[in-house]
Structure 1
Amino acid sequence: MTNLNLSSGFTSGVTTKGNKISILAFEVANTIVKGANLMQSLSKENIRHLKEVVLPSEGVQNLISRDMDELLRIAAADKREELKIFSGEVVRFGNRCKDPQWHNLDRYFEKLGTELTPQKQLKEEAEMVMQQLMTFVQYTAELYHELHALDRFDQDYRRKLQEEDNSNATQRGDSLAILRAELKSQKKHVRNLKKKSLWSKILEEVMEKLVDIIHFLYLEIHQAFGSSDTDKPAKDSQGNHKKLGSAGLALHYANIITQIDTLVSRSSSVPPNTRDALYQGLPPNVKSALRSRLQSFQVKEELTVPQIKAEMEKILQWLVPIAANTTKAHHGFGWVGEWANTGSEVNRKPAGQTDLLRIETLHHADKDKTEAYILELVIWLHHLVSQVRVGNGGIRSPVKSPICSPTQKTGQLFTQKACSSPMLTVEDQQMLRDVSKRKLTPGISKSQEFDSAKTRLSKHHRLSKSSSHSPISESKNDIFSTRRVPSVPVIDFDIDRMKALDVIDRVDTIGSS
């Protein structure tokens, strides 16, 4: 048995008896798992992994900082924040104790920062105590599940009592007897688990162990990070860059990155509404820069779809894992009982593997840097979809092709294959043919523009009585003309580049959004 001594940490003593933890056991278990995760993350193997793998990784270097000292200060500050959360929960439990020595422990914890002398004996005892607490946590996790099972048994039994059916009394009695026996057995199992778990422990006894573990963690963080462990808040090298976590944007930007990755993997069949949803969710700075960047986007030669994907993969290969980590962190454990599924596995993880670190997410990512990478991905995505349409027999990509002569480049827009492609509707093709005459009205929605375009095109429809705009062949079975009508306006991609891009990808409202 250990007892709190405000000057020496682990010492032997006698505990003042208090109340059993009882239903509070699940909250206490939740807190213990947090402490165990923090302790494990400070092991030599995990600190080495942090310094040699995580901090030098491409994502951390590109989005946060390339200054290793700065990154270490950020990582140390994160650990201090974890310890603050852990100790805050312990303070709350202490205030519920009958023994007043456990009250207002926050005052005691504030003084721990001045005691930074490592104690080998303290480390050994802290690890032993945490192992003991985690044994109680595992039994508590089992109790958590078995209590749910007991509740289901009880509901089944009560429902059977109230059930009225056509079976005779003997059969009904047999089924009730079986349910009653199962319920009795489950109650016995739950009672045994309560004795082995935190449920039957005295809160003051657990408080002794938790307080001394906090004392150890204060020293361990300082030992792990040395001079990087400072009370000064970690700042960007320039001191004025906004971070996504503090701005509350980390999860939103992670979702955008995930959407882009999904669209790239499904580039052969991307519904327009899917890309519209992506464009509408883009950050304002990305939206405002997108139009000019699309207009100025140039490549030396027309790239194939695999080549474009390879260019995007250079960013996605390190950006997507960070986005996935961000989503996982926002759905991480925190509610009472979740440790019952994941937390009790903490001591079974291999060396060098620990819980997700905040620095591995978008929390500390620089807002401007992240938006720059998102913008670049959106530009490439636009080019990718255009090239996929070319491969599917759709409209020629607005990027100059090295195999096209100057006359071809500014000449015929629709080939015979493109005009007969099932990828485009009649309205789509007519809207594209009329694009040089179309003038966008500021403030009008895409659907209204589309309706007005159809109205203006109605007199040019192939079924119109106007012979001057009739196709060469008037066969009713021929949905599209197999030859381009000479009077159809031609889009010059060098002059009307942005207009063509807007119509092709249906993003003509991005600039005004």
Structure 2
Amino acid sequence: MTNLNLSSGFTSGVSTKGNKISILAFEVANTIVKGANLMQSLSKENIRHLKEVVLPSEGVKNLISRDMDELLRIAAADKREELKIFSGEVVRFGNRCRDPQWHNLDRYFEKLCSELTPQKQLKEEAEIVMQQLMTFVQYTAELYHELHALDRFDQDYRRKLQEEDNSNATQRGDSLAILRAELKSQKKHVRNLKKKSLWSKILEEVMEKLVDIVHFLYLEIHEAFGSSDTDKQANDSQSNHKKLGSAGLALHYANIITQIDTLVSRSSSVPPNTRDALYQGLPPNVKSALRSRLQSFQVKEELTVPQIKAEMEKILQWLVPIAANTTKAHHGFGWVGEWANTGSEINRKPAGQTDLLRIETLHHADKDKTEAYILELVIWLHHLVSQVRVGNGGIRSPVKSPIRSPTQKTGQLFTQKTCSSPMLTVEDQQMLRDVSKRKLTPGISKSQEFDTTKTRLSKQNRLSKSSSHSPISESKNDIFSTRRLPSVPVIDFDNHRMKALDVIDRVDNIGSS
């Protein structure tokens, strides 16, 4: 590529022979992979995919914005931020060079913003140079792994030298000879890889290529987004709403959505403590709104379990992929060398395929909009769990014991005490009053006692929350079915809501039994 004259203005332009990159090779490789990913994401195929597939997708429109111009500004701002990170690392490497020509490159990069004239030759040369750099990166990745292998060989050899065993000297000598030969072979392999990788390259020579890549990327972003590529417009469009990414909540909300999806797919065999864990992790705004929404939640007709799942799937089908993308995006470049496992595969990706875009995750999602969808899903989940229990004849999931222990007082997800969201419907209160007027009949389980009140309740009443904790069949020798239990006391619903819940859930006598 054509050398950039950086001497005008702030350097002397004196050429100085530089040092080899050496151990810095892994950091340089990490930076090169970031630049390659950014360059690939700005290709015509990927920009077309962004505008025709990603931005018009249901998830982006529902959680971020339906204004295409605003979405383009957000996407352009993301690319500028990626370029800022990449160029910042290039500046850091430049300051480590012996040649002062590469010092303080940040001043040079600032000037590029005002010189956005497309150069066709620069584009062609940048692609060729990046391919060359990525070849060095692949050898550097191999060197990274082989250095670890060399370290293991060396440790094994040293340990064998210090090992004291009962074998004779001849056998010990043969074993050491084998390890010594393997160690020698590995050292030779590592030396060859160092010659082919970035390790033996001169930092100034690589810097020349990296600076031209930065120059190219400035032009490419402007060409890809045009008038949308302005900082002020992007900042204005994002300042009106609270985003999950800026609040640090994107990964947490993604985990909640994933939990809900898991509970829906396994609704017939999920233990109550799993639902309780979901409830405890809900955002405060969702928790506070949940009680009133549950009380007012009504459906026109009683839905079956498949119908409820179908209603939830309307949201989950576009929300779950975004949550999955969020989780995946948080496993990016976490440490120097991670590129050795994933980044060096960039040249093997199919045409048009690139890394995840931030706009495909929950990073830019509006906090209030996301919480509204989570709230709706949680309400449907509550209804789903209730219908599954009804379909099972009131029997809980077999993953829980039919006989409750004191540690199992948590009960249902949205009626437990620990979740601070107790609810008593009119039917629950009526049922409790009816039970309080009678004494339990010896030899009849608690759930069977409730069966006598079913005729007085509507079909949509969820009935006994304790029926699932009674055995399906009871033998005459079962001590739980023959002991006499005291009658249920009359409870003031206004002052003793927690106690009333215990009676409904049939845990009021556990402590004393």
- The aligned counterpart of 1:458 is 458
Q: How far does residue 435 in structure 1 lie from its aligned partner after superposition?
A: 9.2
- The aligned counterpart of 1:185 is 185
Q: How many residues align?
A: 513
- 1:351-391 Cα distance to aligned partner (Å, 9 max, x none): 11100100000000000000000000000111111111112
The question of whether the paired residues in 2 share the 8 Å contact of 1:77 and 1:229 is answered with: yes
- 1:102-148 Cα distance to aligned partner (Å, 9 max, x none): 11111111111001110000000000000000000000000000000
- The aligned counterpart of 1:45 is 45
The question of whether the paired residues in 2 share the 8 Å contact of 1:460 and 1:469 is answered with: no
Cα distance in 2, alignment partners of residues 73 and 160 from structure 1: 62
Cα 1:80–1:296 shift into 2, 3 Å: same
- 1:401-449 Cα distance to aligned partner (Å, 9 max, x none): 9999999999999999999999999999999899989999999999999
Q: How far does residue 306 in structure 1 lie from its aligned partner after superposition?
A: 1.3
Cα 1:12–1:252 shift into 2, 3 Å: same
SS at match of 1:494: coil
- 1:473-497 Cα distance to aligned partner (Å, 9 max, x none): 9995356779999987999999999
Cα distance in 2, alignment partners of residues 472 and 161 from structure 1: 67
- 1:314-353 Cα distance to aligned partner (Å, 9 max, x none): 1111111111111111111241111111111111111111
Cα 1:85–1:484 shift into 2, 3 Å: farther
Of the structure 1 ranges 414-423 and 501-510, higher mean CA displacement relative to structure 2 is found in 414-423
The question of whether the paired residues in 2 share the 8 Å contact of 1:413 and 1:491 is answered with: no
Cα distance in 1, alignment partners of residues 477 and 43 from structure 2: 76
Cα 1:356–1:485 shift into 2, 3 Å: same
SS at match of 1:465: coil
Cα 1:76–1:417 shift into 2, 3 Å: closer
The question of whether the paired residues in 2 share the 8 Å contact of 1:2 and 1:13 is answered with: no
Of the structure 1 ranges 88-97 and 392-401, higher mean CA displacement relative to structure 2 is found in 392-401
The question of whether the paired residues in 1 share the 8 Å contact of 2:286 and 2:375 is answered with: yes
Q: How far does residue 3 in structure 1 lie from its aligned partner after superposition?
A: 2.8
The question of whether the paired residues in 2 share the 8 Å contact of 1:435 and 1:491 is answered with: no
Of the structure 1 ranges 205-214 and 234-243, higher mean CA displacement relative to structure 2 is found in 234-243
Cα 1:499–1:419 shift into 2, 3 Å: closer
Cα distance in 2, alignment partners of residues 465 and 40 from structure 1: 57
- 1:217-237 Cα distance to aligned partner (Å, 9 max, x none): 000000000111112152576
Of the structure 1 ranges 262-271 and 229-238, higher mean CA displacement relative to structure 2 is found in 229-238
- 1:298-323 Cα distance to aligned partner (Å, 9 max, x none): 11111111111111111111111111
TM-score by length of 2: 0.79
Cα 1:56–1:161 shift into 2, 3 Å: same
Cα distance in 2, alignment partners of residues 366 and 129 from structure 1: 40
SS at match of 1:481: helix
The question of whether the paired residues in 2 share the 8 Å contact of 1:244 and 1:362 is answered with: yes
- The aligned counterpart of 1:9 is 9
- 1:27-84 Cα distance to aligned partner (Å, 9 max, x none): 0000000000000000000000000110011110100000000000000000000000
Cα 1:416–1:441 shift into 2, 3 Å: closer
Cα distance in 2, alignment partners of residues 454 and 167 from structure 1: 81
Q: How far does residue 267 in structure 1 lie from its aligned partner after superposition?
A: 0.8
Cα 1:471–1:449 shift into 2, 3 Å: closer
Q: Where does structure 1 lack aligned partners over 5 or more consecutive residues?
A: none
The question of whether the paired residues in 2 share the 8 Å contact of 1:298 and 1:399 is answered with: no
- 1:190-232 Cα distance to aligned partner (Å, 9 max, x none): 0000000000001000000000100000000000001111121
SS at match of 2:113: helix
Cα distance in 2, alignment partners of residues 321 and 220 from structure 1: 29
The question of whether the paired residues in 2 share the 8 Å contact of 1:242 and 1:366 is answered with: yes
The question of whether the paired residues in 2 share the 8 Å contact of 1:21 and 1:201 is answered with: yes
The question of whether the paired residues in 2 share the 8 Å contact of 1:279 and 1:510 is answered with: no
1:223-372 equivalences under 5 Å are 223-235=223-235, 239-372=239-372
Q: How far does residue 240 in structure 1 lie from its aligned partner after superposition?
A: 2.6
Cα 1:90–1:473 shift into 2, 3 Å: closer
Cα distance in 1, alignment partners of residues 384 and 465 from structure 2: 40
The question of whether the paired residues in 2 share the 8 Å contact of 1:394 and 1:423 is answered with: no
Of the structure 1 ranges 446-455 and 393-402, higher mean CA displacement relative to structure 2 is found in 446-455
The question of whether the paired residues in 1 share the 8 Å contact of 2:242 and 2:367 is answered with: yes
SS at match of 1:471: coil
Cα 1:425–1:362 shift into 2, 3 Å: closer
Cα 1:158–1:397 shift into 2, 3 Å: closer
Cα distance in 2, alignment partners of residues 313 and 461 from structure 1: 25
After the TM superposition, list the runs of 4 or more consecutive aligned residues in structure 1 that deviate by more than 4 angstroms. Answer: 6-15, 235-239, 395-476, 478-513
SS at match of 2:245: coil
Cα 1:140–1:454 shift into 2, 3 Å: farther
Cα distance in 2, alignment partners of residues 47 and 364 from structure 1: 19
- 1:259-305 Cα distance to aligned partner (Å, 9 max, x none): 11111112112211111111111111000000000000111111111
Cα distance in 2, alignment partners of residues 109 and 152 from structure 1: 43
The question of whether the paired residues in 1 share the 8 Å contact of 2:254 and 2:326 is answered with: yes
Q: Where does structure 2 lack aligned partners over 5 or more consecutive residues?
A: none
Of the structure 1 ranges 386-395 and 375-384, higher mean CA displacement relative to structure 2 is found in 386-395
Cα 1:169–1:117 shift into 2, 3 Å: same
RMSD, aligned CA:
10.3
Cα distance in 2, alignment partners of residues 23 and 379 from structure 1: 55
Cα 1:35–1:435 shift into 2, 3 Å: farther
Cα distance in 1, alignment partners of residues 97 and 278 from structure 2: 52
Cα distance in 2, alignment partners of residues 233 and 457 from structure 1: 60
Cα 1:392–1:352 shift into 2, 3 Å: same
Q: How far does residue 166 in structure 1 lie from its aligned partner after superposition?
A: 1.1
Cα distance in 2, alignment partners of residues 274 and 172 from structure 1: 56
Cα 1:317–1:425 shift into 2, 3 Å: closer
Cα distance in 1, alignment partners of residues 422 and 489 from structure 2: 22
Cα distance in 2, alignment partners of residues 234 and 442 from structure 1: 73
Cα 1:445–1:340 shift into 2, 3 Å: farther
Of the structure 1 ranges 178-187 and 297-306, higher mean CA displacement relative to structure 2 is found in 297-306
Q: How far does residue 504 in structure 1 lie from its aligned partner after superposition?
A: 7.3
Confirm or deny that 1:208 pairs with 2:216.
no
Cα 1:505–1:85 shift into 2, 3 Å: farther
Cα distance in 1, alignment partners of residues 407 and 201 from structure 2: 87
The question of whether the paired residues in 2 share the 8 Å contact of 1:2 and 1:208 is answered with: no
The question of whether the paired residues in 2 share the 8 Å contact of 1:244 and 1:363 is answered with: yes
Cα distance in 1, alignment partners of residues 28 and 411 from structure 2: 74
